[in-house]
Amino acid sequence: MVIARFQPLHYGHLNVLKYCSERCREVVVVVGMASQSHTPENPFTAGERILMIRETIKWAKLPLEKFITVTLPTLEVSRVAVHYVKLYSPPFRYVITLNPIIQRIFSEEGYRVVEPPAVNRDSYRGSVIRKLIAEGSDEWRHLVPPPVASIIERVDGVNRIKMLYREKLPGYYATA
């Protein structure tokens, strides 16, 4: 099981999906905070994020039939959240994550936690990508797979993020 917000999906996420695909019969991909959208931290809807995941898996030529995508409503991160993950997803044995809080709560509940290889974590971060978009830089396009860039453009995600950041930090992104 892989859990992330995918705000947006980037090459770091894709590397984790490849890692899981090579090692597991099935991969449960949990889209976290699915009930959040149109905020600076969570600009994309659950449906948009699921589309990013599916289109990226196909683009990367990974076996789509191996992946099960589920959504998880916005929850406070705690051991109780593990119970909800179990309710919303098929059974799983391993949790693949680099997030230390997620590692901790799942290991405390008896799950085996596996750390995937970390790849360029300074750049492959949703917060970095959203900030680049808000600032009007095209550098974000190098951090996401082509299908993700296409989906962001199709849903007018660039303008959505610029608007959300202007609301969050008035005057900060004056050029955005």
d(C-alpha 79, C-alpha 115), whole Å: 19
Residues of the chain with confidence (pLDDT) below 70: 76, 168-176
What pLDDT, on the 0 to 100 scale, is given for residue 174?
Answer: 45
pTM score:
0.91
What pLDDT, on the 0 to 100 scale, is given for residue 50?
Answer: 98
Cα–Cα distances (Å) from 91 to 88, 118, 157, in that order, read 10, 26, 34
What pLDDT, on the 0 to 100 scale, is given for residue 121?
Answer: 85
Average pLDDT, the chain: 92
What pLDDT, on the 0 to 100 scale, is given for residue 14?
Answer: 97
Domain residue spans in the chain?
2-114, 126-168
What pLDDT, on the 0 to 100 scale, is given for residue 168?
Answer: 67
Q: Indicate the CATH number for domain 2-114.
A: 3.40.50.620
